[in-house]
Amino acid sequence: MRYFLKSLICSAALFVLTSRISGGAESAELAKFFRGLNLNGPALTIDGNEWEGKDSKTYACNGNAFENQAVVLKPSTDARRAQMIRSSRWGRSIDVELQDIPAGDYQLFLYVWEDNDSTRFEILLNDKTVIKQFDSGAGGSWRKLGPWLVSPANGKIKLSARGGDANLSGIEIWSGRGEIPKPPGREFVAASTPEQVDFFERKIRPVLADHCYQCHSAGAEKLGGGLLLDSRIGIIKGGDSEPPIVPGDPNASLLMTAIRHTDASLKMPPKKKLAEMQIEDLAAWIRMGAPDPRTADTTAHVKSKYTIDWDKAREFWSLKPVRQPNVPAVRDTAWPRSDLDRFILSRLEANRLSPAPDADRRTLIRRATYDLIGLPPTPQEIDAFEKDQDSNALATVVDRLLASPQYGERWGRHWLDVVRYADTAGDNSDFPIPQMYLYRNWVIDAVNRDLPYDRFVREQLAGDLLPAADEASRRKQTIATGYIANARRFGSRVDDYPQHLTIEDTIDNLGRAFLGTTINCARCHDHKFDPISTQDYYALYGIFHSTRYPWPGIELEQKQRDLVPLVPAAAAATAQAAKRTEQERLDAEVRRLEKERDAAQGEDRKRLDKAVQEARNVAERHSKSPLGFEVAYAVADAAHVEDVRVQQKGDPAKTGPLVHRHFLTVLGGAELPTDDRTSGRLRLADWIVSPENPLAARVMVNRLWRYHFGTGIVPTPNDFGRQGKPPTHPELLDWLASRFVESGWSIKVMHRLIMLSRVYRLAGSPSPDALLRDPNNEGLSYFPRRRLDAEAIRDTLLVLGGSLDPTPGGPHPFPPQAEWKFTQHNPFKAVYETNRRSVYLMTQRIQRHPYLSIFDGADPSISIGTRPTSTTPLQALYLLNDPLVHEQSARFAARLLDLAPDDSRRFEQAYLLAVGRRPGSDETDAALKFLEAVRTELRAGGVPADQVDREAWQSAVRAIFRLNEFVYVD
């Protein structure tokens, strides 16, 4: 309550939090008291439970002893608890080892207090931070922190405090995952006497109504701290934190602390303090046991008002089961080539529109070739397709393109957009990740192999947890989890690294990429638009909290760790042990030299100072040196897998109920079995690609459609929720999704299905009726003209210049780890030139590649479902002046001069290669005049005669590069 009474939060969160604690608190077995430990005091009894004292043999603690029983505690509490709190162990680095603990699950509480001035420190459990930068508060403040779910290792649990001077008073341990029983204490008055009712009605109800109901009643616009003061049940249940009233004890009641304004951080009402008589009346009422004649259950009213209606939520179009719709009848039965076409034509006919004529073969092969491999067709391929009169000619072209290794490079790049691929971490210093290319290449290979999409999902989420047929398969599956590892990193610190932000980025991308859903909107409160509760969010959070992410390096720890070996475990262990042994030897040498230096004087001390520094440098270089075997920037299950608690308003330091790991409730809410001791990533993957999930297949086929036609059937491919746009052809979307699953989740089958349709073959010329009745071409009466994306433009330039290196890209030339000195003010920045395809360019997270930023390349910080298409002067200037353009235009010009003996035939070849067609006679005439004018100008400028033709043709080529037709596909 101390942290939330002042806050106005969404009341929807209040009651959802009570519904699914550990799989349903009402049905869960209660936890049992296991042990209480008074760290610096005698054995005593608290809440009816026997606590051990400082002489207990079941723990070890290195903190200093401290006690001051004269300090007034805020809030006050019972005498035994106060005695325990005011005697503590303190220090800037405290470790408490709890011993003799049987295997199992436990919930642990920690009592801390402040005897003097406020300080900040962090709390760690089994060396894992559970609270960062805890503020101890003013003198006399105390807190009962937790509970934290924990399991012992070898019968021990370690609890630590680091940073400021922490006062640790006591530890309370409960066995089991169930609800913690409420402690015995004074009870609220159950039946009020007439005198008590009269007192309440005259003295209490008016104060609550006039000063509290605005924020703390069922009628409040936003419920403050989840606390209802407009009913007896609301007061008894309390809000998001500790109960506001301790019956019979005003001094222990947080409500009194708030209204007395004795704590600067907790003042209610916030603007003006109550009159002293009103404060005394409330204290008297609490001493009576808080008699309250109100019988209405306002908590039930608020719950019914804000609880998600799951059945109603599932009526939204994207959450309905995928069905196999009837193929619609059409009037023009001769036009469709497939059932897909009938869905398109049915809508066109309903809108009194006719489809455009078919595109010519030159246009069609250029469209298909750029679509599938992102490169222009050769003149020979165009000629062969124009001459092939077989009705299956396009199918032959499509199959040839799908079999090309360049197909994976093209469509793998599309997936990398969605998963916000980057070769750097995204933290303040943007540390490079030299191993990330392995995931990029895995994606390209998986797309080329037509890895079934359901398997594609499973390997990226849980490849390390899947059985592997052999070592090569295990290697690939491990690399695939680079999808999770590639989550963005933040800040520059180590001990208090904001891991919750990296997990948030993971969940955000998971939702958008696989489900077309903005799950992360439920991090602080129930999703305002879609049926996703905060508990759903933290159910998924628990899965990734139980996952060990690799460490990319950060400003205060400039080396990688926790990467996954790509060699057999025995070989990895041997190499790691050898490096550890050598590191210990080097560190020991540093300590030996330091000891000698400290004992030396004069010149000897100066000499040893240098020796110490050199030894330190050697030890540091060795600590950053590679292990001697290949590793992947990939994930593994954490040492401790566990459910997590809701983070109130998204703050990891303010926790709520424990949530068992499960899938989104609206999608069935399947739970991780209690006997599953993994992170749950494999179950999550299974839930996502389950036949019962209506989103996975819909989302993926919509992406395929979007890349073929420029716009998805659902125009917002990353958002199938209420904030997204509805499908233009919902029946077609379901028909495609059904075919996708029936095909064995084959992406290549879907390519053939879409590209061999009649609608894909349409010309790009709209009729006047289409422009009038369907200006956005939602009905697809003609093929939408599209600009080439950044990668296709650059790759085409390299192809025309004869410079493209077709071999797959490998690692980037990052500086070796031993040389890393990146900081927030001196971050890693680099651009590595290559003649390989653009998918292999090094991609930074916080600094866009200069070329890709000009032509709307993907932003590697966020999931990109649809790239924007801008038209700017910089693009025209790039195609005129950039060194890459000049280099490739020179090479293309030299190529043209060798291809044909005269200018007319050279122009014909230039057009065939650059735009896929022969120039018209007027274009040739204009080009010849242009060439002659340029030659005249070059000669007048003193250019040597043997260079005039080459430079004139370079100028002509750059003019071709600036044609709209060069960068657009019809």
Please give the helix or strand (H or E) that residue 50 lies within, else none. strand 49-51
Cβ distance 661 to 682 under 8 Å? no
In the chain, % helix, strand, coil (3-state, to 5) comes to 45, 15, 45
Question: Within a 10 A sphere around the Cβ of 264, how many other Cβ atoms?
Answer: 7
Distance CA 686, CA 179 (A): 30
Task: State the amino acid at position 365 in one-letter form.
Answer: I
Which residues touch 925 (CB under 8 Å, ≥6 apart)? none
Token pair 């704590």 is found at: 263
Question: Within a 10 A sphere around the Cβ of 440, how many other Cβ atoms?
Answer: 25
Structure tokens at 85: 């709190």
910 closest CA partner among 969, 966, 839: 966
Token pair 């204290």 is found at: 283
Give bridge partners of residue 827 from the DSSP assignment. none
Give bridge partners of residue 66 from the DSSP assignment. 88
Q: What is the pLDDT of residue 304?
A: 65
Q: What is the pLDDT of residue 298?
A: 84
Please give the helix or strand (H or E) that residue 51 lies within, else none. strand 49-51
Q: What is the pLDDT of residue 118?
A: 85
Structure tokens at 664: 């989104």
Cβ distance 434 to 453 under 8 Å? no
Query: Nearest-5° angle of CA 959, CA 383, CA 389?
Result: 140
Buried b (16+ CB within 10 A) or exposed e, 784-802: eebbbbbbbbbbbbbbbbe
pLDDT-flagged residues of the chain (< 70):
1-28, 183-186, 240-242, 303-306
Question: Within a 10 A sphere around the Cβ of 952, how many other Cβ atoms?
Answer: 23
Helix (H, G, I), strand (E, B) or coil at 159: strand
The beta strands (E) that lie in 516-616 are given as: 547-548, 564-565
Q: What is the pLDDT of residue 6?
A: 35
481 closest CA partner among 468, 494, 498: 468
How many residues are listed for the chain in this entry?
A: 970
Report residue 564: phi and psi, to 5°: -105, 125
Q: What is the pLDDT of residue 16?
A: 33
Q: What is the pLDDT of residue 12?
A: 34
Whole-number Cα distances in Å, 536 to 11, 237, 313, 529, 686:
16, 23, 15, 15, 17
Report DSSP letters for 764-829, one per residue.
Answer: S---HHHHHH-TT-TT-SSPPPEEPPHHHHHHHHHHHTT--B-SPP----PPPGGG----SSS---
First to last CA, the chain: 63
Q: What is the pLDDT of residue 4?
A: 33
Structure tokens at 481: 């989890």
Please give the helix or strand (H or E) that residue 409 lies within, else none. helix 405-418
Question: Within a 10 A sphere around the Cβ of 505, how many other Cβ atoms?
Answer: 22
Helix (H, G, I), strand (E, B) or coil at 467: coil
